[in-house]
Chain A
Amino acid sequence: MAALLEALNLEVRYGGIVAVRGCSFAVEEGEAVCLIGANGAGKTSTLKALARLLPSGGEIVYAGTPLGNLPAHDLIARGLALVPEGRGIFARLSVAENLVMGAYHRHDDEIGADADRLYTLLPRLAERRNQLAGTLSGGEQQMLAIARALMSRPRLLLLDEPSMGLAPVMVDRIFELLRSVRTQGVTLLLVEQNARLALEVCPRGYVMESGRITLSGLSAELRDDPRVRAAYLGG
């Protein structure tokens, strides 16, 4: 079976600087895969290239179609949703309006029902549905960003550092949410600096270092790898 998402020799450059050098990886349907690595390893650039927010070299194949020349805004209708770095919520819109915006490309009548389902899953957002998103705490904003992406009924969810800048309690909640998203059959590709949690949620992972994928395998193996332990799991 062909992978849902496959990157071949992905390359991203900023002018003369090469941020991602020839990375190849694959994500199967229904899988949860994490991409871990230190600051500046090229994780975010990889994800942005996948979301077509950055021009890239190499090849990206999603659900059998090459993404090469597709614009970013075409992806969501194909089931590929991004939770951007730094959350990217619409601060001056209410929580409910943010969710509706996540369904911008949809024309069916079940958007309200989908929002209600998310409110049941995330009571904190339900309580604050009429509050402006900018007034939420960081963790709540991250929840909202994920919920907004889920409003598009994605097949594959790309997440860029959902734990960034959050208190440990909130980080746990976010990862709890990701676990329940997984059980709904959504494929996940998670970019994270928090290697411990990422490897817990995702059964398989890739390790990135200075633009290259240096290690890959099942999370259990990665957790036991002395190099990963030393670099990302605190020895």
Chain B
Amino acid sequence: MSVPHLWQRLRNEAVTTSRIHRPLLLVGCTLLIALPFLVGLGFGPAWVRVLDFVLLYILLALGLNIVVGFAGLLDLGYVAFFGVGAYVYALLASPHLTSHFPAIAALFPAGLHGPLWLLLPLGALVAGVFGILLGAPTLRLRGDYLAIVTLGFGEIIRIFLNNLYQPVNITNGAQGITQIDGLRVGPLALDRGLDLFGLRFSSLHLHYYLFLALAMLVVFISLRLQDSRIGRAWVAIREDEIAAKACGINTRNVKLAAFAMGASFGGIAGGLFAGFQEFVSPESFQLIDSIMILCMVVLGGMGHVPGVILGAVLLTVLPELFRFGAGPAQQWLFGRVVVEPEALRMLLFGLTLVVVMLLRPAGLWPEPRHRRELAQ
């Protein structure tokens, strides 16, 4: 039997996956399609917006999961790749470059309006290159040391975005880039909404479907990568780098592939974010955002795709719940708002994380084998 077959068989034996029934899958898909309408009806459009962000964060968390979960490389600067993807989209789909560089304006008299099918892959590519730029000098580092360097890298990117407005204005500094084209799929401008079969699909709904499609694609790629030859190599370097080398794994290439692949997922999410918000500024790409994405991966269950998705959902929805719920809850309990909901939000959020990590150290939904290991 050849290696891929053997590996597949071993995984199936080790991970007792419950077979997904076809009818269940159908119900799940219908639910995913109907979800924005249900949420919109039940909780209002603000929550449909939260739903859109949940999907963006799923993209980000799955990207970071490749680096941290699969390959075991602790990356604290991941949001930089999100930023790179966002700025690639922002620069190539806004009047910023044409208004500051006459040469570019002459080249594109109608203005720069890159199409989505070009800008998303380009953002992924550029972010991937940045991933390799970060990976190459850190090949010999592991654990805490790697975390510190990646943290520095993330800050460098943010500071560059903040300051690249002089002598030539590339990023427009802290003011950010405005008037970015909204996302368009073919002739359909997502920010205008759509009336179809007597149903009103708002801009938030349409973004939801685009993000959902891409999130599904990234889930699919993640699952395929996990069982691939390179997926096995990632597991090996995560467990023991010297033994991995002794097994014939080119650890340098395999690590760079992890950085590049993870970064490109972040780049795609960044492009979507820029087109969705129609505005980007360096403020959106701070250390706290990197930490948040890392928390999603760790809280959900490192290396386990369904767990990471759960982590992304929880850590996007929970803070919003606190934001909406903390004020009224205090009003009801004490008759007045004692602590600002905004201040309380991070406190409760941190507390939740601590409790979860104490009770479920491998994450909420770890890979079955990890759960087994901790139990033994």
> Which residues in A have some Cβ–Cβ distance to B below 8 Å?
51, 53, 71-77, 81-84, 88-94, 96-97, 100-109, 111-113, 115, 130, 132, 134-135, 145, 148-149, 152
Contact of A53 among B6, B245, B247, B249 (CB under 8 A): B245
Contact of B10 among A75, A83, A88, A97 (CB under 8 A): A97
Report whether B246 and A72 are in contact in the complex, using a CB–CB cutoff of 8 Å. Answer: yes
Report whether B240 and A88 are in contact in the complex, using a CB–CB cutoff of 8 Å. Answer: yes
Report whether A104 and B236 are in contact in the complex, using a CB–CB cutoff of 8 Å. Answer: yes
Bound CA span A101–B247, Å: 7
> Which residues in B have some Cβ–Cβ distance to A below 8 Å?
1-3, 6-7, 10, 13-14, 232-233, 235-236, 239-240, 242-243, 245-251, 369-370, 372-373, 376
Contact of A103 among B3, B235, B243, B246 (CB under 8 A): B3
- Set of chain B residues within 8 Å of A91, measured between Cβ atoms: 239-240
Report whether A82 and B246 are in contact in the complex, using a CB–CB cutoff of 8 Å. Answer: yes
Name B251's closest neighbour in chain A (CB-CB): A73
- Set of chain B residues within 8 Å of A82, measured between Cβ atoms: 246
- Set of chain A residues within 8 Å of B246, measured between Cβ atoms: 51, 72, 76, 81-84, 88, 149
Bound CA span A151–B221, Å: 30
Q: Interface on chain B toward A: helix, strand, loop, or mixed SS?
A: helix
Chain A nearest CB: distance from B15 CB in Å?
10
Report whether B247 and A148 are in contact in the complex, using a CB–CB cutoff of 8 Å. Answer: yes
Contact of A102 among B242, B247, B373 (CB under 8 A): B247
Bound CA span A138–B375, Å: 20
Report whether B242 and A88 are in contact in the complex, using a CB–CB cutoff of 8 Å. Answer: yes
Known contacts A97-B7, A97-B10; is A89 also within 8 Å of B248 by CB? no
Contact of B1 among A71, A102, A112 (CB under 8 A): A112
Name A51's closest neighbour in chain B (CB-CB): B246
Bound CA span A112–B2, Å: 7
Report whether B1 and A111 are in contact in the complex, using a CB–CB cutoff of 8 Å. Answer: yes
Bound CA span A107–B1, Å: 10
Known contacts A104-B3, A108-B2; is A94 also within 8 Å of B243 by CB? no
Report whether B232 and A94 are in contact in the complex, using a CB–CB cutoff of 8 Å. Answer: no
Known contacts A93-B235, A100-B3, A111-B1; is A76 also within 8 Å of B242 by CB? no
Known contacts A71-B250, A97-B10; is A107 also within 8 Å of B3 by CB? yes
- Set of chain A residues within 8 Å of B251, measured between Cβ atoms: 73
Report whether A72 and B245 are in contact in the complex, using a CB–CB cutoff of 8 Å. Answer: yes
Bound CA span A76–B236, Å: 15
Report whether A73 and B245 are in contact in the complex, using a CB–CB cutoff of 8 Å. Answer: yes
